[in-house]
Amino acid sequence: MPTPSDNQSLIFALSRFGHGPTIEDFSSFSRHGVQAWLEEQTSPPKGDDAAMTSRLKDVRLRIHYNAAEGKWPALDEARPLDMLGKPIDAVWPLLDNSATPRDGSERRRAVDEVIAATYLRAVYSRYQLREAMAQFWHDHFHVNALASEQIMLAMPTYDRDVIRPNCLGNFRDMLEAVAGSAAMLYYLSNHSSRAGAANENYARELFELHTLGRDAYLNDRYDRWRDVPGAMAGQPAGYIDQDVYEAARAFTGWTVEDGAGLDGQRKLPATGRFVYVENWHDGYQKRVLTQEFDPFSAALADGRKVLDLVADHPATARHLARKLCRRFVGPQASESLVEQTAQVWRATAKAPDQIAQVIRTIALSPEFAASRGAKLKRPLTVAAGFIRLTGLDFVPTEGFHNAVAAAGQRLFGFPAPTGLPDDDSYFLGANTVRNRWNLLLGVAQNQWGTGACDPSRTVPVGGDKSAATYAKQWLDLLGVPADASALSAISGAVGVPPTVSIEGMDAKRLSTMAALAVLSPDYQSC
Amino acid sequence: MTTLFRRDVLKGLVAASVGGVLPIPGLRSLAFGAEPGRAPILVVLHLRGGCDGLNLVSPASDPDFIAARIGDLRVAMDGKDAGYALAGGPDPKIDFRLHPAAGGLAELYQNRALAIVHASGLTNKTRSHFVATDMMDRGVTSDPDLAHIPSGWLSRAVAAKSRFAAMTAQGTLSGDLADMTNAMAIPDLAGGLPPVGGPAVSSALWQLYRNSAGAMASAGRDCLQMMAEIDPKVPRDPQGRIAAYQPDGGASYDTAADFARPLKTVAQLIKMDMGLQVATLEYGNWDTHEYQAGRFRYQVERLSNGLAAFWTDMAAYHDRLVVVTATEFGRRLRNNKSNGTDHGRAGVTLVLSGKGTGGKFYGPWPGLKTEQLDEGVDLAVATDYRRILTEIVNAHLGVPGSAWFPGYAYPGKLGLMV
């Protein structure tokens, strides 16, 4: 049996860059080591592994709603994740409720399926680091899927075609994929932006959230671009409101085929696909980050030039390096690690695996290795980690989703474009902590139909093992100090004195013991 | 972050625990340490996203306003959708009108409960939601102050920090309460806060968390204590089931939709008389960059219905209750071509109190001619939001000075609190 300290290192790496170890990981990891794992994880093949693919194919997710008189009958069925693989033009017609009226749940289904798939991948994907990165980029390029039905329907393609293929790839590629996605065009309302008085929503968040970051917003120089340090050398240190206004003009005409009228006679088709509408574009000359834009450039050229400028800006490298270090090393990550990461970011700017190289830099840094315990696990990592550890046959359900959301992590549902805060205190409100406990205890007791838990597959019973011994073996596995008070606490929760045998104890009570071990305060961090 | 009210009470509990198993239900018999009674209460309502003050309270007859905006984003003076005319505006030549969906607010204004401070807000030039929100929450107006002052202005201003002194009716403490000891985040009381997993499991959690160091263990202890102390105060029927909250005075929160939950949570906590001094809550979604007219109407209707219901429900507390709104900025005077408005400067502040000072506007009106606008595009900030809050903290909470706003030279009261 590995020692608690071996287990700590394993659990640490796998909880930072994934959702914790499976019981099999304990043996394979000690054979191959972290570096081999990282090598495989940072260059995963396209798409899901075979076991994952068949799970996604076989799973059924419930959908249910009431009848609407004269419109649709009541429905309650378990349905495959049919919308996950569909192109956007195959789901967009669901918005048209005039020909075939449908309950809103049929549109919301698109995001429900992406959420279910995210839970399944968190638990079962062989490529755990890709899951961690997909979540990082979903937070970074956040869209609140619940903000409109168009965004709900755009979520399968946003997750499948925009975030996942690029999550270990090249940032500039991802930036343009996001800029042209129906999800972002709707969420930050660029789809309705028109020449004349452009909508500034997307352009502002492009600078502030997606690229240069708020530290580079030099708002006291509002309309004096020449006063921005470096401006006269063509290398402005940051951006001002004028850059936002001009960039907003550059993106006019970047929109979605959503049936909008083009003039008195013509309309865009309603497919949900990206389209550039020349008529809506403000073609006149512009200046962004001191660079002059010629009037009447080719289709999309203005927007692409803005994306080039912001992607290449040193402040973007620092902003993203700082965010990645914060996520994977912790809030105390040093400025020198951030600077080193930013250098790799810039040096690999043209590489197709830019982000993977940056991640390797962070993961192999001594600072990463020394940062154990610096991050609170997010609720999904706690829940998926328990499921992986106990090997329970997991089925995603609505109840599970609500419990994860109540614990502070409502997937694709954060109400602001900042995405879920990467800040421990966000998850430490007293009520949120209560919901974290509820989440894990509920999984252990199969309260939401996610699958029966049998912790004896992980830590065997038998041999007249006492309650305290069983609790200790769980805590040792988790690398958590097993003092007498903890042992008596865990035994007491199922009404057994520590020294009494657990021979014959039912799986529910064993599950409560395992869940309490996993809820140890020390195990909430990684 | 919550830190808290845990130590003394829980120390007692350790002593009380028998055989290593803490009888969690016994926690409930503890008396409250807070001072109930007649202490003043301040409620801060955050209208996150940047509420369009010019559409909530329109200078409806101002020709510069009419020229700059499509009719849908202005309050009308006639027709079936005419807004509520407000006497006592800041410029006698202009007909100030409240949005037609704000019937509840119009009535509060008539009854002199509601005062309006137009053209108010943050003096910093930022048009970033997140920078502006952080600055207002922390009570600073410069980037350097923002970088080195992590605590919320309310946490610095509220003097007596008794147990249960402050709460936020959402999952996380609002930024203005950052670093305040004794502050709780309670998004909902509709289901009470019973111990998780039953008494035996909660008792085990207490044992696991009581001696550990670190933020998680501390948060866990807060959580157990909150459950133990607040849950028994949630009314239950004789069978032990939680009764639905019954507002007083015939008030109904039903028409406030999603704004009802945080309001009811604040109302319930105030009525528990546990010594609450400050409550914050949030009603978001004001970032109306496109198709503003319909979305804004929906928002205003719920804001108005909710505040009206709350004020009726809290009638017994009017002599010691003040509600003030805050929003990070108002919106651009001129609408964009998405029929929405982009980030602007000054907005509008609403102040509800039982002091009889409502029914009029406070502070000057800077005007909407191009040369009067901030940077030529936005309603200028004529009243610093800190002035409004300083007057409230001085006169209502009884804390003198304005030290909680670093570097602020308070020019004196507006008369909102008499």
Among A193, A428, A492, select the one facing B2 at the smallest CB separation.
A428
| B48/A197 CB distance under 8 A | no
A222 vs B: CB within 8 A: yes
pLDDT of residue B12: 36
Q: Chain A contacts of B225, Cβ < 8 Å?
A: 430
State residue B68's pLDDT score: 97
Average pLDDT score, chain A:
95
> Looking at the complex, does the CB of residue A197 fall below 8 Å from at least one CB of chain B?
yes
CA B234 from chain centre, in angstroms, equals 23
CB within 8 Å: B130 and A418: yes
Among A223, A488, A516, beta carbon nearest to B20 = A488
Chain-chain contact of B338 with A524 (C-beta, under 8 angstroms): no
Residue with tokens 């970074």: A140
The pLDDT of residue B274 is 87
Cβ-defined contact of B211 to A525 (cutoff 8 Å): no
Cβ distance A222 to B223 less than 8 Å, yes or no, reads: no
| Chain B contact present for A261, CB below 8 A | no
Count interface pairs A-B at CB distance under 8 A.
180
Beta carbons of A416 and B290 less than 8 Å apart: no
pLDDT of residue B195: 86
Greater model confidence, A145 or A264? A145
Closest Cα to residue A376, out of A426, A305, A317? A426
Residues in chain B closer than 8 A to A525 (CB atoms): 214, 216
Probe site for chain B from A433, A496, A512 (most B CB atoms < 10 A): A433
Angular region, B379: left φ>0, alpha ψ -120 to 50, beta rest: beta
Q: State yes or no: pLDDT of A165 exceeds 50.
A: yes
pLDDT tier at A376 (50, 70, 90 boundaries)? very high
The predicted structure's pLDDT at residue A99: 86
For residues A143 and B195, which has the higher predicted lDDT (pLDDT)? Answer: A143
Q: Give the dihedral sign, CA B11/B13/B14/B15.
A: positive
Could you say which residues from 370 to 389 on chain A have a Cβ atom under 8 Å away from some Cβ of chain B?
376
Question: Does the structure show a pLDDT above 80 at A31?
Answer: no
Contact: B336, A200; criterion CB under 8 Å = yes
Asked if A441 reaches chain B (Cβ–Cβ under 8 Å), the answer is yes
Residue A220 near chain B (CB below 8 Å): yes
Q: Which of B125, B129, B342 sits opposite A220 (nearest CB)?
A: B125
Contact call for A201 and B20, based on CB within 8 A: no
Give me the residue spans of the domains in chain A.
193-311, 314-369, 456-524
Residue of B142, B172, B229 best to disrupt the A interface, most CBs of A under 10 A: B172
Least CB–CB distance from B223: residue in A199, A434, A495? A434
Tokens of A280: 């809506």
Q: Does any CB of chain B come closer than 8 Å to the CB of residue A490?
A: yes
Contact B209/A521, CB-based, under 8 Å?
A: yes
Q: Is B286 exposed, middle or buried (0-12, 13-18, 19+ CB in 10 A)?
A: buried
Mutate which: A434, A494, A524, vs B, most B CBs within 10 A: A434
- Provide the shortest C-alpha distance from residue A42 to chain B (in Å): 31
Return the residue of B nearest to A475 by Cα: B208
CA nearest to A526 within chain B: B216
Nearest-Cα distance to chain B for A485, in Å, is 7
Q: Which of A219-228, A509-518, B69-78 has the lowest mean pLDDT?
A: A219-228
- Rg, C-alpha atoms of chain A: 25
Asked if A511 contacts B200 with a C-beta cutoff of 8 angstroms, the reply is: no
Chain A residues 39-78 within an 8 A CB cutoff of chain B: none
- Which chain A residues have a beta carbon less than 8 Å from that of B200? 492-495
Say if the Cβ atoms of B128 and A217 lie within 8 Å: yes
Ordered per-residue pLDDT tens for chain B, 418 residues = 333 333 333 433 333 333 333 334 333 333 333 355 678 999 999 999 999 999 999 999 999 999 999 999 999 999 999 999 999 999 999 999 999 999 999 999 999 999 999 999 999 999 999 999 999 999 999 999 999 999 999 999 997 667 789 999 998 899 999 988 778 899 999 999 988 999 999 999 999 999 899 999 999 998 998 889 899 999 999 998 998 999 999 999 999 999 999 999 999 999 999 889 999 999 999 999 999 999 999 999 999 999 999 999 999 999 999 999 999 999 999 999 999 999 999 999 999 999 999 999 999 999 999 999 999 999 999 999 999 999 999 999 999 999 999 999 999 999 999 8
> Which residue from A193, A222, A485 is facing B338, i.e. has the nearest CB?
A193
Q: Rounded CA gap, B393 and A228, in Å?
A: 39
Please report how many Cα atoms fall inside a 13 Å half-sphere around the Cα of residue A149, on the Cβ side.
14
Q: Are B123 and B387 in contact (CB under 8 A)?
A: no
pLDDT > 90: percent of chain A: 92
Chain A residue with CA closest to B207: the answer is A489
Tell me the nearest-neighbour CA distance from A425 into chain B, angstroms: 5
Domains with residue ranges and CATH for chain B: 1-31+192-244 (no CATH), 36-190+247-395 (3.40.720)
Q: How far is B357 from chain A (nearest CA, A)?
A: 35
- Give the Å distances, CA to CA, from B246 to B187, B190, B191: 18, 11, 14
Residues of A in Cβ contact (< 8 Å) with B214 = 521-522, 525
CA–CA distance, A467 with A472 (Å, rounded to integer): 8
pLDDT at B160: 65
Backbone angles phi and psi of A394, in degrees to 5: -85, 135
Which pLDDT tens digit goes with each residue over A225-241? 999 999 999 999 999 99
Q: What percentage of chain A exceeds 70 in pLDDT?
A: 99
